[in-house]
A and B are shown apart, each in its own frame.
Chain A
Amino acid sequence: MNDFLKGLKRVGIKLGFFAITVLTILLLPIFSLIRIIEKIFKAKILYFDPKKERNSVGRYLIDNWIGETYQAQNNRVFVYFLFPALGAFLLFVALPFIQGIYFSMTDWTGLNDPSFIGLINYKTIFLDYEFGFSFLRTAIYAILNIALINVVAFSLATLVTQNLKLKNVYRAGFFMPNLIGGLVLGYIWKFIVDKVIVQMGGVFSPSLLINGNTAFLSLLIVVTWQYAGYIMMIYIAAIQNIPQDLVEASEIDGANSWQKFRNITFPLVAQAFTVAMFLTLVTAFKQFDTVISLTQGGPAFVLPEWIGNIYGLNLLPVVQSTDLVAINIYNEAFVNYNMGIGQAKAIVFFLILLVISLIQVYYNKKKEVEL
């Protein structure tokens, strides 16, 4: 128990010093301004006597940041070098993000003067069955998409790292779809599905794109076709980086190809798995362009009964079957002109995506092997 309290205290102190450091970095411009004024007027506004300071926080500040020690001077210069990047980050990422949080609590429509309405938008979207359905669809889509893309990409990567004659041609070929823009690709595949394979009859006629579930499946296949080549490149790089001496040693020990794959290839490409899984996860959740051109969010679909029950709906409403979250947000903001609600959806989306990707990276990292 005592140990636990001690540990807690240590963490607390560390956190405290971290907070102080961040504050000092942000306040450093003011501090240097004061120093300049001091130099001009030859006065002492901010003066610390290093010898008299007994408080541990004060000592830390003087020794590491504002004193004249070697460490403090060094630290200050580092921070000055940080400012261009930090400034750009604050201006183009942090500030719009905070502004976004503000707009999510207003009734902004894009042209009116927004007025603050608290958390009403968040309440609206949690009661909105369309958003709930959209999120469920996106989650299913993401899981299937991640699995499919990674399996296909990894298989292709193992294939084109074998001793094949034209392996560079294959690599280029598999990568090619990724060079076509998502919109164009969607239109091409819409043509293929609506006009070409319909001629084969059977399940392909009428068009796969008019039924909610088959349209969803078509979307999965199209996106896999496009993105697997890119992920394949990541795996190829990882597979080529496996030291050949390990492989040779295992061969001398009599390992068969499955054992080599299971015990050498797989652990050593785990790092690539982290990257590839993260990329596929994020792109799957943010899928937009291909959906717009392939299915326009449709086809329409009667809401499944169990979801209707959750929201207590007597009449099951009509929803769009490939209405993924990104499209739902876009429509809310730019078709229905509810910028506030759209922004609130975007914030919820961001938080959930953040949590999911952190969990994913954490678990994948644990599997990685350092050589």
Chain B
Amino acid sequence: MKKLLLVLGLFTVIFTMTACKASEKTLVIYQNKVEIDEVLRTYAEAWGEANGVNVEVKTCGGDTCAYGTQILAEFQADEQPDIFVIEGMGGYNIYADKILDVTGEAWASDTDLEFVVDGKTYGFPVAVEGWGMAYNADILTAAGVDPATLTSQAGYLAAFQAIQAYYDGNASMSDYAVVSMAAASGMTWVTGLHNFNGYLSSGLAYNDSTVIDKLNNGEVDASRLAQLADWVELLFTWSDETILLSGGYDEQVGKFAAGEAAFLHQGNWTDSSYTNSDFEFGYAPHATLTTGNTSLFIGAPSYYVINKDTDSEADAKAFLNDLASTAEGHDYMVNQAHMVPAFNAVTLVPSTPLSALVMEWNQAGNAYAWWQNDMPSGFGMEVVGPIYELFAKGVAGASGGITKTEFIAQVTAAIENLG
């Protein structure tokens, strides 16, 4: 009797296990955008039900979860996701052994922003993002500033002075800021990556990689760097001091969203903060070069890539194709996740102000490339960012700051160290 029970028990266990394996086609997506976690989950579950696949979305990102660290841990723990996210060339170099070559997929013919290395396609652009100087058009109009003049440092200086004069003429605007920018320890992604990208791409053709190539070889373009330093000094001089020295993302964007700042040094991902803002938005290019700046920095920040060792390659490919080509996929990207899709087939227009502007600038061909992710990992945020931080202190007159000459010398030395 006992033996019979034992055998029965054993069979039950085996059946359950095999049964699980047979029906459970799983697809694990490990992504890094906290803000779209919920909508992606909803979309993925709906897609999974329609296609008989059990889709699991895992998210790790933002201030509290270091995606790079976590994904490395997942790989080391052998809990490998089927689709994961890389951020440009830096990420590709780290995960090169793990990424599937997806050349020839249908979605790739519908975009110009797929991630390509040596003629082979690897990454699906998650979205298009862009940054520049977002402005409050109401303030600019009231101060008599024409946004069309904001292409040179002289133009910006005149605009900043006009806006300050406008604030000074209104008692209720005494604590308004001309520029809302943050350069403290936690904000080095804005300074060391976004602002510094101007040095790498301003005024160059979209695929012109000369400056970034020189940087990676430890060579400095002194003239560009000097122009960048002038631009940074101009920005820091007209920034709200408290936000510049100790503010975080919320303070920086909050000031602009409340209509108390004329310019914001951020990209279209800040859109979610403007639900209560009632003013006209606009975008102007960074004046990294002394004159002749015409474009925003637009690119795909991250790419979905397929794990080479995945068991569900076909499902993963189908998921990405459907995302790019079906009406549901478009609806998810534009209306649910408020992203700017990289695909030409998409006709929906984002309802959020800055995303719509980025799409407009992109369609008009006014885009400078993103090279900040092609710098060695940690260089922008850990090396260049702190130098910006000290320069901000120098400009604001806080103790321990550095001058513009020292800023140029420090950045030069940091770049030369890469050689």
Which residues of A pack against B, CB within 8 Å?
Answer: 109-112, 194, 198, 206-207, 209-212, 295-302, 315, 317-320, 331, 334-337
24 A–B contacts, CB within 8 A, in A order: A110-B72, A110-B94, A111-B72, A111-B94, A111-B97, A112-B97, A206-B241, A206-B245, A206-B396, A210-B393, A295-B185, A298-B386, A299-B185, A300-B390, A302-B390, A315-B409, A318-B383, A318-B387, A320-B386, A331-B378, A331-B382, A334-B66, A335-B68, A336-B377
Q: A207 CA to B243 CA in the complex, in Å?
A: 11
Contact between B69 and A299, CB atoms less than 8 A apart: no
Nearest B residue to A322, CB-CB: B185
Nearest A residue to B72, CB-CB: A110
Q: A109 CA to B387 CA in the complex, in Å?
A: 27
- A317-B410, A318-B386 known; A298-B66 Cβ under 8 A: no
Contact between A302 and B400, CB atoms less than 8 A apart: yes
With a cutoff of 8 Å between Cβ atoms, the chain A residues found around residue B246 in the complex are: 194, 206-207, 209-210
Q: A301 CA to B386 CA in the complex, in Å?
A: 8
Q: A212 CA to B398 CA in the complex, in Å?
A: 11
Q: A212 CA to B376 CA in the complex, in Å?
A: 26
- A296-B186, A331-B378 known; A318-B393 Cβ under 8 A: no
With a cutoff of 8 Å between Cβ atoms, the chain A residues found around residue B66 in the complex are: 334
Q: With an 8 A cutoff between CB atoms, is B214 at the interface?
A: no
How many Å from the CB of B246 to the closest CB on chain A?
A: 4
Contact between B382 and A335, CB atoms less than 8 A apart: yes
Count of A-B contacts judged by CB separation below 8 Å: 88
Q: Map CB proximity to A onto B215-228 as digits: 1 under 8 Å, 0 otherwise.
A: 00000000000000
With a cutoff of 8 Å between Cβ atoms, the chain B residues found around residue A207 in the complex are: 242, 245-246
With a cutoff of 8 Å between Cβ atoms, the chain A residues found around residue B376 in the complex are: 336
Contact between B386 and A300, CB atoms less than 8 A apart: yes
With a cutoff of 8 Å between Cβ atoms, the chain B residues found around residue A297 in the complex are: 185
How many Å from the CB of B401 to the closest CB on chain A?
A: 9
Q: A334 CA to B185 CA in the complex, in Å?
A: 18
Known: A210-B393, A211-B400, A299-B184. 14 other contacts (CB 8 A): A111-B98, A206-B245, A210-B246, A296-B186, A298-B386, A301-B400, A315-B409, A315-B413, A318-B387, A320-B185, A331-B378, A334-B69, A334-B72, A335-B382
Contact between B185 and A302, CB atoms less than 8 A apart: no
With a cutoff of 8 Å between Cβ atoms, the chain B residues found around residue A320 in the complex are: 185, 386
Q: With an 8 A cutoff between CB atoms, is B95 at the interface?
A: yes
Which residues of B pack against A, CB within 8 Å?
Answer: 66, 68-69, 72, 75-76, 94-95, 97-98, 184-186, 241-242, 245-246, 376-378, 381-383, 386-387, 389-390, 393, 396, 398-400, 402, 409-410, 413-414
Closest 3 CB pairs of A and B: A298-B185, A300-B386, A207-B246
Q: A210 CA to B182 CA in the complex, in Å?
A: 12
With a cutoff of 8 Å between Cβ atoms, the chain A residues found around residue B410 in the complex are: 315, 317-318
How many Å from the CB of A318 to the closest CB on chain B?
A: 5
Q: A205 CA to B213 CA in the complex, in Å?
A: 42
Q: A247 CA to B113 CA in the complex, in Å?
A: 81
Q: A214 CA to B246 CA in the complex, in Å?
A: 13
Q: A294 CA to B231 CA in the complex, in Å?
A: 30
With a cutoff of 8 Å between Cβ atoms, the chain B residues found around residue A319 in the complex are: 386
With a cutoff of 8 Å between Cβ atoms, the chain B residues found around residue A331 in the complex are: 378, 382
With a cutoff of 8 Å between Cβ atoms, the chain A residues found around residue B382 in the complex are: 331, 335-336
Contact between A211 and B398, CB atoms less than 8 A apart: yes
With a cutoff of 8 Å between Cβ atoms, the chain B residues found around residue A336 in the complex are: 376-378, 382
How many Å from the CB of A292 to the closest CB on chain B?
A: 10
- A111-B97, A301-B400, A336-B377 known; A318-B390 Cβ under 8 A: yes
Contact between A210 and B398, CB atoms less than 8 A apart: yes
With a cutoff of 8 Å between Cβ atoms, the chain A residues found around residue B241 in the complex are: 206
Contact between B413 and A317, CB atoms less than 8 A apart: yes
With a cutoff of 8 Å between Cβ atoms, the chain B residues found around residue A295 in the complex are: 185
How many Å from the CB of B374 to the closest CB on chain A?
A: 15
Q: A320 CA to B69 CA in the complex, in Å?
A: 21
Contact between B398 and A206, CB atoms less than 8 A apart: yes
Q: A324 CA to B413 CA in the complex, in Å?
A: 24
Q: A76 CA to B378 CA in the complex, in Å?
A: 55
- A110-B76, A206-B242 known; A298-B400 Cβ under 8 A: no
How many Å from the CB of A294 to the closest CB on chain B?
A: 10
- A110-B72, A334-B66, A335-B378 known; A300-B185 Cβ under 8 A: yes
How many Å from the CB of A308 to the closest CB on chain B?
A: 12
How many Å from the CB of A137 to the closest CB on chain B?
A: 15
Q: A278 CA to B80 CA in the complex, in Å?
A: 40
Q: Which of B94, B184, B185, B402 contacts A337 (CB 8 A)?
A: B94
How many Å from the CB of A61 to the closest CB on chain B?
A: 44
With a cutoff of 8 Å between Cβ atoms, the chain B residues found around residue A194 in the complex are: 246
Contact between A337 and B377, CB atoms less than 8 A apart: yes
How many Å from the CB of B249 to the closest CB on chain A?
A: 13
With a cutoff of 8 Å between Cβ atoms, the chain B residues found around residue A298 in the complex are: 184-186, 386, 389
- A110-B76, A210-B245 known; A299-B389 Cβ under 8 A: yes
With a cutoff of 8 Å between Cβ atoms, the chain A residues found around residue B76 in the complex are: 110
Q: A192 CA to B159 CA in the complex, in Å?
A: 36
With a cutoff of 8 Å between Cβ atoms, the chain B residues found around residue A300 in the complex are: 185, 386-387, 389-390
Q: A153 CA to B407 CA in the complex, in Å?
A: 44
Nearest B residue to A315, CB-CB: B413
With a cutoff of 8 Å between Cβ atoms, the chain B residues found around residue A302 in the complex are: 390, 400, 402
With a cutoff of 8 Å between Cβ atoms, the chain B residues found around residue A206 in the complex are: 241-242, 245-246, 396, 398
Q: A300 CA to B401 CA in the complex, in Å?
A: 9
How many Å from the CB of A332 to the closest CB on chain B?
A: 9
Q: A301 CA to B393 CA in the complex, in Å?
A: 10
Of the candidates B75, B382, B386, B396, the one having the most CB atoms from chain A within 10 angstroms of its own CB is B386
Q: A336 CA to B381 CA in the complex, in Å?
A: 11
Contact between B398 and A109, CB atoms less than 8 A apart: no
How many Å from the CB of A334 to the closest CB on chain B?
A: 4
Q: A207 CA to B72 CA in the complex, in Å?
A: 36
Q: A9 CA to B413 CA in the complex, in Å?
A: 59
Nearest B residue to A339, CB-CB: B72
Q: A207 CA to B383 CA in the complex, in Å?
A: 23
Contact between A210 and B184, CB atoms less than 8 A apart: yes
Q: A159 CA to B207 CA in the complex, in Å?
A: 70
Contact between B94 and A109, CB atoms less than 8 A apart: yes
